[in-house]
Amino acid sequence: MEKLICNKVVVCKKVSLVFTFYLLSQLSFAGGAWTQGKGKAYFKLYEFWILFDEHFTASGEIDPNTTTGIFNTYLYGEYGLTDKLTLTTNAALFTNNFMRARRSSTGTLLTERDDIKALGDIDFGVKYQLSSSNSPIAIAASLNLGLPTGRINAGRDNNLQTGDGEFNQQIQLDIGKGFQGKSNAHYVNAYVAFNNRTSTGDSFAQRIGRGLDLGREDIFSDEFRFGMEYGIGMMERKLWVIARFYLLESLRNGDDFEQSTNIFANNTEYTGTSLEVSYYILEKLGIAANVGGAFRGEIIAASPSFDLGVFLDLSK
């Protein structure tokens, strides 16, 4: 089974006419229900971006906003410790979050451009394959830790961020099945996940500590996630096309900070799709492009997101 990369989704929140974003980089990892073989690896360096001037409100309506952009440079990686146990990471090595200057209808400058450039959040995960190697159905469980290495409360008005400011833990179950042909291949995969979001803090150590404090009341609401994807490999598996459907629902068990202007979105919900195309230029080297977006949402950007990158597949 070829190793595939899942799209990451950016969500945004209107807060007192100020917009922040939350990168759901722990949404789904590559590989679905399949793990890497022992000593095998997969790496992808890619640029993710979204530029939007409209958003879904908390009631699901679409409202305009100051043009906001987010550009992230990610390094994704998988490494097989054993045939059943795979380590994963998705690191936002560089994040640029900006708001364009805002002018009146007569051209008068109302707000100057504001931006921040810094390290984003870094995810580390582990995936374990529950099914046997000869099983017709692949089943895998994974744990992903979202480390709050990004900045918060930055920019001229303290409303730009490169991370969500909280230490979250996500558990996920994937079920998939592959179909091999002479010159092509197909696969289907579905997952369900629970994401435990915790409390924010002023420093990295404080964010981690609050996340590990089981007796502490969390600020952020926990989340339920579900997704499905279908992929087909053509041209002797050099060209892969992957279609995805994903859903996120908030459990609404955290604080409601609708009036906050310095922390990330809470109670975000959406339903979206994405389409990815990957092509192997060489046996182990390829390029990949992806476009995705939400067609139903609350507290989310009403604009598509894109990513483009190169990958090195050392699983062959």
pTM: 0.86
Q: Is the pLDDT of residue 85 over 60?
A: yes
pLDDT at 4: 39
Q: Where are the domains of the chain?
A: 9-313
- Of 314, 310, 316, 308, nearest to 42 by C-alpha is 314
pLDDT at 2: 39
Determine the topology of domain 9-313 in CATH. Answer: Porin (2.40.160)
CA distance 153 to 15: 13
pLDDT tens readout for residues 136-165: 999 999 999 999 999 888 888 777 888 888
Q: CB of 78 within 8 A of CB of 30?
A: yes
pLDDT tens readout for residues 72-83: 999 999 999 999
pLDDT tens readout for residues 47-64: 999 998 888 888 888 888
Structure token digits, residue 17: 């006419």
> Mean of the pLDDT values across residues 257-277?
73
pLDDT at 13: 33
Higher pLDDT, 117 or 56: 117
> Mean of the pLDDT values across residues 104-121?
82
In this prediction, residue 256 has a pLDDT band, given cuts at 50, 70 and 90, of low
In this prediction, residue 1 has a pLDDT band, given cuts at 50, 70 and 90, of very low
> Mean of the pLDDT values across residues 210-218?
82
Higher pLDDT, 60 or 15: 60
Structure token digits, residue 40: 């095998």
How many other β-carbons are positioned within 10 Å of the β-carbon of residue 244? 22
Distance separating the N- and C-terminal Cα atoms of the chain: 10
pLDDT at 213: 85
